[in-house]
Chain A
Amino acid sequence: MRSLTIDQVAGAFFAAFSLLVLWETRKIPFGFLAEPGPGAMPAFLAFTLLVCSIAVIIGGRSGKRAAAVQWTEWRHAVFILGTCAFMALALERLGFRVTIFIALLTLVSILEKKGWLAGVVFAGCFSFGTYFLFNALLHVPLPKGPFGL
């Protein structure tokens, strides 16, 4: 059996998403057609998304196969996204400098295998340098962690 096309997979996903939004809009007052309430436009847009998704599925029957998409960089991508998640979790707990230092050190030394010394020097210069530039010079408030770091 031939695999589904990109448009069929994406269209099905967006159709499911639009149905979910339509389901969620039931909690918001729709109003009337002549006097739309706060729920009318989201419902209309979700319906539009549903129609477009179905059109994408119908129009994409002969397109590129989803199985043919190469995800060669997925390991790097997952690692980088994990670093993003770490930064979101740690930023207000560990402070800007410590969080960025750990994130950069991880990316440079572990993911890119550039060595620990290079990683420490780069991460240290970047995290403390940008903190000084933005916090001290441009007065952008950045979070501090334990020990005032």
Chain B
Amino acid sequence: MVEILNNLSLGFATALAPDVLVYAFVGCLVGTLVGVLPGVGPLAGISLLLPVTFGLNATSAIVLLAGIYYGAMYGGSTTSILMRIPGEAASVMTCIDGYAMTQKGRAGAALAIAAVGSFVAGTLSIVALMLLAPPLAEFALRFGPPEHFALLVLGLLVLAYMTSGPITRSLTMAALGLLLGMVGMDTMTGLFRFEYGLAELGDGIGIVPVAVGLFGISEILLSAGRATKVDVRAPRLRELLPNREEWRRSAGPIGRGTVLGFLIGIIPGPGHIISSFVSYSIERRLSKTPERFGQGAIEGVAGPESANNAATSGALVPMLALGLPSGAVPAIMLAAMMIHGIAPGPLLIQEQPAMFWGVIASMYVGNAVLLVLNLPMVGVFVNVLRVPYPYLYPSLLAFATLGVYAVNNSVVDVWIMAGAGVVGYVLRKLDFEIAPIILGLVLAPMLELNFRQALAMSAGSYSIFFTRPITTVMLLVALVLLLLGMRSVFTRAAGPGLVTRG
């Protein structure tokens, strides 16, 4: 415990440095704006803003991106409560009772509880992250190539299992991402693969243009030509205080949402979305007056908002401790770390303590910044919705082009971005989950390297994957998930007759 406190003080020394503090503040501010804008969720926001971090040092870059991530989580609640427009998917549940409270004249209380719940959940889950990540990383130091390979396979399988829709669809997307990750030089032999004479592809397909294209450009294409006229009404500052009864009703949901959100966030998959749905249904089930839900029950705001913010910190546990991103946003943050020359994984805490603990400390700072920022400035944030979309999306498009080009000064990356945009647009129209593509692209080189190194260790014997306990357990769990996922696919394929018999 003393060691953790010492490390945390080291982290605060980093996080409270004026430049890092400014980036934490800017990240939270931009993240909140990103969260407020419908459609531009944390994923598209981080993808579009990732190139901005290239001029920064690694700590500042991660602090900025983390600020955008949890800022977007906060910001999403504002439009959900005031206008029934979820800024991002995790805020969908907040719309139900948050907007009902607005209609009853309690918008201020809903916003305040959402902000306080998010602050409490965010802060407590950072404590959990701080306590959990170092021992997990220490445990992972025992891992060799076979364990790393098994962990990556398990991570991909869990993500595929947790995402919406049949597992075969998610696995198809993951396989596509992994295949894209095969482009470029083979790290073990130096041989070029699928580069077709383009020198720019020698280092592989960049994560930035693919992420910006898949999430950012596809979002612009999907929302192209839509009419956006919103009725913007923001509460006054004096209306923001919840009454005693509202505080009392919110305490339990905030506590439960925090624990639930953090635990779900650790599991690969869209934890922030799932946790808000689960939290809402739990609060409704636990309530003695479930009929109030949907009519403006403050528990329906407090629980989901706390849960989705806690899940944000939970998602960073496997990313920081194991180098295994649990979803698309952590995958993009992982890519940002790699671009800055930081090797993510168990050694990060030992080799880059100032960075690791700086990021942790900046999260505390960020949460405090968001609390101070969100409530008094709610009127300002809501006014962002007044920016006409015909001016907003061309700006985002130009900004994305600028950012993608600036990574390598290469127009090939701009073409890749446009191509990924088309792929993302079509796949999203067809209801495919695109997050596994980016995860596959990020993990592909690690997966291949660890697989081949494991076989080199065992002189070519595949038994190495079934004789080491950790590897065996992880691969068995992956197999069970695969079978469970496939069962529903085969049941569907067999037709309704079999379903009714089964």
Contacts from A to B (Cβ < 8 Å): 6-7, 9-11, 14, 17-18, 21, 24, 28-29, 32-39, 41-42, 45-46, 48-49, 52-53, 55-56, 58-62, 64, 66, 69, 71-73, 75-77, 79-81, 83-85, 87-89, 91-92, 96, 100, 103-104, 107-108, 112, 114, 122, 126-127, 130, 134, 138-143
Contact = CB atoms under 8 A, between A and B. Distances in A.
B431 A140 contact: no
Interface string B240-257: 000000000000000000
A14 B225 contact: no
A62 B488 CA distance: 13
Q: How large is the interface on B (under 10, 10 to 19, 20 to 34, 35 or more residues)?
A: 35 or more
A38 B225 CA distance: 45
The A interface, classified by DSSP as helix, strand, loop or mixed, is: helix
B489 A59 contact: yes
Interface of B: 54-55, 166, 168-169, 171-172, 175-176, 178-179, 182, 186, 188-189, 191, 193-194, 217, 220-226, 390-391, 393-395, 397-399, 401-402, 405-406, 409, 411, 414-415, 417-418, 421-422, 425, 427, 429-432, 447-448, 451-452, 455-456, 459-461, 486, 489-490, 492-493, 495
The B interface, classified by DSSP as helix, strand, loop or mixed, is: helix
B194 A24 contact: yes
Contacts of B394: 103-104, 107-108, 112, 122, 126
A126 B452 CA distance: 49
B401 A41 contact: no
Given A55-B486, A84-B418, A104-B394, 10 more contacts: A9-B430, A11-B172, A35-B460, A45-B175, A49-B172, A52-B172, A56-B169, A73-B222, A103-B394, A122-B394
Given A6-B431, A52-B171, A130 B414 contact: no
Contacts, number: 184
Contacts of B224: 73, 76-77, 79-80
Contact of B429 (A37, A46, A71, A92): A71
Given A14-B172, A49-B179, A36 B452 contact: yes
B461 A34 contact: yes
A76 B394 CA distance: 12
